[in-house]
Structures are given as C-alpha cells and as structure tokens.
Structure 1
Amino acid sequence: MQPSILTRIAWRTLLALVIFNAISAVGGAIAMLFTNGLGMPQSALDGGPFTSYFLPALILLIAIGGTHTLSTVLLLRRRKSCLFWTAVAGFAMIIWILTETAIIRGFSWLQGIYFGAGVAELALVFAMLGIVSWLPRIDLGIGKTPKS
C-alpha cells in the first residue's frame, strides 16, 4: 500500500525537523566549546550548577546533537527504531529548553523555536504511530528489505 500524500508530507517534515535540530545542536555545541558560550554573558550561569559553558556545550552536543543525529540516520535508513529515537530526541530537546530557561532564568525567541521544534517532532511521531486520528497509522515499509 502506497503512503498517502499527508503521510509523505508528515515524514518529510519530520525528517527536515530532525536534520535541522541535529545540525543546529552539533554546530552550536562545537561553537560554544571553542568560544566559551558564543558571547553569552558568564553572569547567565550565576546561581546555576555550571561555572562555564563547557559542560552545557558537551551536554548539548551529546544529548541533543547525538540523539538527533542518530534519529536522522535511522529515519533515512527507515529502521524500525527510527520513530522511537525521534521521540527520544524530541523529548530531549524539550527537556533541554525547559532546563536552560530555568538555569538562566530567561527566555528568548530562539528557545521558543527549538521548544516548538521538539513539540513538533513528538506530534509528528505520534501521528506516524497512528495515535492521532487525522493521520492513521499505515505501513511505511520501515525495517523491510527492498524487493529486488
């Protein structure tokens, strides 16, 4: 059975979001590591658990960049676990943003974009799993070997 146009759009949107988040997290983390915070004031860390931007950058690289990169690879290969790891990546993004805003005691439009991206990832995963009625679950051919 061929996936519907709505399912194909959802799949491509999910893949685009995950790729965007992977590139942003890995690039941002590497930049933070080499610039000690990308110009963010050291005072933003006052009262929090970190004394420099090194550990937050490392966490961003591994927890957000790593899960999104893994999710990207699994989605592109259409592995059975791709939706699971995409949900993990989406939850990680949401937790990252909520924790970040609590530590720095502030909020910016950029955090809103990434929070929204994490929520959108989860919404699309739930839709692909058939949890929402507007996009019924169908066989996407995930985990199957192509016929010769």
Structure 2
Amino acid sequence: MAKVTAGMIHLSLLAFLGLSAIGGGGALILSPSGKLLGGLPLQILKHSPFFNFLIPGIILFVILGIWPIVTVWALIKKPACPSANHLNFFKDMHWAWAFSIYIPFALIIWIQVETFMIQGVGWLQTFYMLYSIPMLIAALLPQIRNKYRITTAPTKK
C-alpha cells in the first residue's frame, strides 16, 4: 500500500477544488440559466449585479478552477516564472507555494461575496468555507514549506 504524504494531501486538496470549480463553473458557462446544475434559480441573483450565471461561472472556472490546477502542476514541476514570482509575497518560497496559500483565501473571498450576493448560505458554501481550512493548514505544514523553500548559495565577499 502506498504511503500518503503531506505533499500528496496538499496537491489533492488543490486538485479537488480545481476540478470541482471547473465542473461547476463550466456548467454555469454552458448553461447561464442554471438549469445544468439542477435548476439553480436565477432569482437568487436579484441582489447581485448579474442577470444570469455566465460571469460568476467564468470567474469560478478561471479563479477557483484553472488557477488551482495550474498551481498543482507548478508545485510538481517547480518551474521558474518571473511574472508569477512578481505576485509572490514570500520571496524565500517558490511562487507556486505562495499561490497555494492565496487559493484558500480566494475561496474564502468567493464564498463570502457569494453568500452576500445571494443573501443566504447553503450546504455547498459551508462545505467550501470549511474546505479552505485544511487547504491552508496543508500548505503551512513544515514538510511542505521545506519542500518549496528557496535556498540560495552564500555570496562570496
């Protein structure tokens, strides 16, 4: 039996979020009326700036779908990416690790804005709000941080 590591958990949590957001966001893009998601009523958008689910679907698909999947790939491959590194507030860490910290916060913001706009909370919002906690904890584990810490050679004087 394969040993489950903290790294595997970290990647799995991000991948699950990404795949579920691609599915949900994709369904909203394909059916902005909400019918593909079991008849999601347009009425819940009455307190939002949207008249259908197209724009929320695109945001969900890209920010909480594509971004985590790309981050999983980057955590595995550890590519250099100067443009992504400009957004890295943790200069001693690989940019992909920093993004794995940003993603749970993006999820929290998404859920908070969503619950404000629909003026309610359902089981799905509760699930994903709670889901952000293990995502953040996994990224902050010492063995994960050590894996993505950038070590620089000492400079000669």
**TM-score, structure 1 normalization:** 0.77
Note the residue ranges of structure 1 that are not aligned, 5 or more in a row.
129-134
Change in CA separation of 1:52 and 1:14 when aligned onto 2, cut-off 3 Å: same
TM-superposed deviation, 1:46: 0.4
3-state secondary structure, aligned to 1:107: coil
**What's the CA shift string for 1:82-131, capped at 9, x where partnerless?**
21111111111111111111111111112122112222211222224xxx
Change in CA separation of 1:70 and 1:138 when aligned onto 2, cut-off 3 Å: closer
Q: Which one-letter code corresponds to 2:54 in the other structure?
A: F
Matches within 5 A, 1:51-66: 51-66=51-66
TM-superposed deviation, 1:31: 0.8
**What's the CA shift string for 1:55-103, capped at 9, x where partnerless?**
1001111111122112111122245222111111111111111111111
2:100 equivalent among 70, 86, 107 = 86
Q: Does the alignment pair 1:46 with 2:53?
A: no
Q: Which residue of 2 aligns with 1:118?
A: 132
**What's the CA shift string for 1:24-44, capped at 9, x where partnerless?**
011111111112222210100
TM-superposed deviation, 1:18: 0.5
Note the residue ranges of structure 2 that are not aligned, 5 or more in a row.
80-93, 152-157
Q: Which residue of 2 aligns with 1:67?
A: 67
2:147 equivalent among 135, 140, 143 = 140
CA distance in 2, matches of 1:11, 1:116: 20
CA distance in 1, matches of 2:130, 2:47: 27
Whether contact under 8 Å (2:14, 2:72) holds in the other structure is yes
1:27 equivalent among 23, 26, 35 = 23
**TM-score, structure 2 normalization:** 0.73
Report the RMSD for the aligned CA atoms in angstroms: 2.3
Q: What is the aligned length?
A: 131
Change in CA separation of 1:143 and 1:44 when aligned onto 2, cut-off 3 Å: same
- The 4+ residue runs of structure 1 with deviation greater than 3 A are 141-144
3-state secondary structure, aligned to 2:146: coil
TM-superposed deviation, 1:141: 6.5
Q: Which residue of 2 aligns with 1:104?
A: 118
Percent identity of paired positions between Structure 1 and Structure 2 = 27
Q: Which one-letter code corresponds to 1:34 in the other structure?
A: L
